Chains A and B, each alone.
Chain A
């Protein structure tokens, strides 16, 4: 029963929403409004799950004095202080909370992603090899698209940006359309499997 009742709820709600998509009746709209108001009330509690999880992981590390446990202290202290700053002084512009976001979270988050530029250059040098005709075609297409995106490519020859656009509008379009259709069919099949109760991984294990 611990799995059957949630399954029945998903299947019932799922079919009601399928009907709602096609049947524009007042009952259907009222039901949807009811579901939305309940979803709004449930949504804030998902964050509690994330916070608890973080505290459990890092708290255990600190308790057991696991390697690098001092850094877990930094994480928890930062979490507590940032949240406290938001509650104590508000979240509007000019508060310590927004200062921390703009000068701590934003720069670090952006920098983490910018490290990828170095890794892609290193990978380009050490790993990208034209070992087969298909790989050679891949690299050729990449070269033309890379040059076509920058002003220098157009300065070399006007054919570079035009060929780059042709690659994007014709063979790339065909490839992405084929892949997107396959993905669309796959995600529709997965959604149908959830709807019919065949796919149950979201319920977790017993």
Chain B
């Protein structure tokens, strides 16, 4: 019985949101605002239990690591974001976290540039590797806007546009699949769990 009620609630809220497809209405708005509230409310106890207690409360009050009072105060400084005169205080917790960007620079350079370049520099032993090579170089040159795209250079960068069109077409094809899959999931719930029409 409880499961039936749960399914009815979930299905009703699903239908409230689907009703937007016909036109904007109070049911949809109610569901939309409810979603925002529940999502935020959901995060609060989880962050309290999984972050605040183990990393702030327990080390300071139970284990006696009083140095952690300083980052706790830094964390409280976040709230000064809303103060006109003291909003500059909220910069301190932000910049403490931003420092990790130093580690990100060499690592992202390695994985998104160097490794990709290494694998782009393969021996051109068949037509496919030749196509990949031409495509990669022409696109990289296309994005180099400091040189005007004229003459032979312009013609070569134009090839990059054709490659990008194929790439975007493939992305569009996958995007259609992704969006339809999400709808299939909801319809499976409505037809299966709610109406019991699919077992």
A and B touch in the complex (CB under 8 A): yes
Binding site for B on A (CB under 8 A): 2-3, 6-7, 9-10, 12-18, 20-22, 35, 37-54, 56, 68, 71-72, 74-83, 86-87, 91, 97, 99-120, 124, 134-135, 137-146, 148-149, 164, 166-185, 187-188, 191-192, 194-195, 202-204, 206
Tell me whether B165 and A138 are in contact (CB under 8 A). yes
Q: In the assembly, what is the distance between CA of A108 and CA of B33, in Å? A: 11
Q: In the assembly, what is the distance between CA of A188 and CA of B36, in Å? A: 34
In the complex, 9 of the A-B residue pairs with CB atoms within 8 angstroms, ordered by the A residue number, are A76-B37, A105-B42, A145-B169, A174-B134, A178-B137, A181-B117, A184-B111, A184-B116, A191-B104
Q: In the assembly, what is the distance between CA of A109 and CA of B128, in Å? A: 42
Tell me whether B68 and A41 are in contact (CB under 8 A). yes
Closest 5 CB pairs of A and B: A13-B99, A174-B135, A175-B167, A86-B45, A78-B37
Q: Mark B27-58, 1 if CB is under 8 A from A, else 0.
A: 00111111111111111111111011001100
| Chain B neighbourhood of A145, CB < 8 A | 169-170, 172-174
Q: In the assembly, what is the distance between CA of A18 and CA of B107, in Å? A: 10
* A interface secondary structure, majority: helix
Tell me whether B105 and A192 are in contact (CB under 8 A). yes
Tell me whether A101 and B170 are in contact (CB under 8 A). no
B17–chain A nearest beta-carbon distance, Å: 4
With most chain B CB atoms within 10 A of its CB, the pick from A171, A173, A202 is A171
A132–chain B nearest beta-carbon distance, Å: 9
Tell me whether A51 and B139 are in contact (CB under 8 A). no
| Chain B neighbourhood of A40, CB < 8 A | 51, 55
Asked if B176 is at the interface (CB within 8 A of a chain A CB), the reply is yes
| Chain A neighbourhood of B156, CB < 8 A | none
Asked if B123 is at the interface (CB within 8 A of a chain A CB), the reply is no
B169–chain A nearest beta-carbon distance, Å: 3
Tell me whether B163 and A18 are in contact (CB under 8 A). no
| Chain A neighbourhood of B111, CB < 8 A | 184
Identify B105's interface contact among A41, A42, A191, CB under 8 A.
Answer: A191
Binding site for A on B (CB under 8 A): 6-7, 9-11, 13-14, 17-18, 20-21, 29-49, 51-52, 55-56, 59, 68, 70-72, 74-76, 78-79, 81-82, 87-88, 90-109, 111-113, 116-117, 120, 128, 131-140, 142-143, 160-177, 179-180, 182-183, 185-186, 189
| Chain A neighbourhood of B170, CB < 8 A | 141-142, 145, 167-168, 171-172
A109–chain B nearest beta-carbon distance, Å: 7
Tell me whether A141 and B166 are in contact (CB under 8 A). yes
A102–chain B nearest beta-carbon distance, Å: 7
Q: In the assembly, what is the distance between CA of A81 and CA of B42, in Å? A: 10
| Chain B neighbourhood of A185, CB < 8 A | 113
| Chain B neighbourhood of A105, CB < 8 A | 35, 38-39, 42
